[in-house]
Structure 1
Amino acid sequence: MLEVLPETQDNLLAVRVSGELTNEDFDLYRELIWDRMKQYGAARLYYEMVNLSWVKPGAALENALFDLVHGRAYDRVAMVGEKIWQKWAANLISPVKKKGVRYFDLHERERAMRWVQTGEE
């Protein structure tokens, strides 16, 4: 499930994902981030993962291709999670993002939001 958080504004997309991510969730995410990229030239992303149990492989592959093509249009990206594989995923995709990806543990969510909003911790 993809939930758009109230901090979403201007070129910042803030989302929380949980449970099972579907093709529809990824379609909505790509639409929302792409709209910001087109409007502002670059988009900041706060991506929080809570109780994430499954990501459909086809949807994840489509999303990875989107990131490869549009990675330079990302500004600050904060990934917040609770599992070691989420940290590994953040490190794996970091090189394709213009400013990389910073990973924060779930208990650091406020720090992550502050960093993605202002660039300061």
Structure 2
Amino acid sequence: MLTISHEPNYIYVAVAGELTVHDFREFENDVLYELRFHGAVNLLFDLTEMLGYTLDMAIEEIRFTRAHRRDFQRVAVVANDQWITWSAWLNQLLSDAEIEVFTDVEGAQAWLNESAASAAA
């Protein structure tokens, strides 16, 4: 299950259970809308409740990341699983975004809001 909310400085995406290609396409549509009307995007992925993902979703993620490698400024990933941390590190190879992994949502939010504050200054 996927929950998406548009916050003032980022898109918040929380995953519970298994992430499927259907879920990822929902995420893509939200991000493409944001890109079209607001430009570069910051993302916060809360993956602490994610149990896994499907292979077709992983392939779609790689395709999407490569196609939009310059469209993201900062990506915060909240995870407590070493494999997810490793995956975030690999995504840095496919994207120009700053990617950081956090153990709590509050730290990720602070990092994203810091980016917005420095951009406004």
Report the TM-score when normalising by structure 1: 0.87
Shift of 1:11: 5.8
Once the two structures are superposed, the pairs formed by residues 31-70 of structure 1 within 5 Å of their partners are 31-70=29-68
Ranges in structure 2 where 5+ consecutive residues have no aligned partner: none
Structure 1 equivalent of residue 4 of structure 2: 4
Secondary structure of the residue that 2:37 maps to in structure 1? Answer: helix
Once the two structures are superposed, the pairs formed by residues 1-121 of structure 1 within 5 Å of their partners are 1-5=1-5, 8-9=6-7, 12-105=10-103, 108-119=104-115
Aligned-CA RMSD value: 1.6
Q: Answer whether contact 1:11 1:37 (CA < 8 A) is retained.
A: no
Distance 1:43 1:64 in 2: 17
State the 4+ residue runs in structure 1 displaced beyond 4 angstroms. none
Q: Which residue identity does 2:15 align to in structure 1? A: V
Q: Answer whether contact 1:11 1:42 (CA < 8 A) is retained.
A: no
Distance 1:36 1:111 in 2: 23
Distance 1:15 1:48 in 2: 6
Distance 1:53 1:116 in 2: 25
Ranges in structure 1 where 5+ consecutive residues have no aligned partner: none
Q: Answer whether contact 1:3 1:17 (CA < 8 A) is retained.
A: yes
Identical residues among aligned pairs (%) = 27
How many positions carry a matched residue from both structures? 116
Distance 2:11 2:86 in 1: 22
Q: Which residue identity does 2:114 align to in structure 1? A: T
Report the TM-score when normalising by structure 2: 0.87
Shift of 1:21: 1.0
Q: Answer whether contact 2:69 2:97 (CA < 8 A) is retained.
A: no
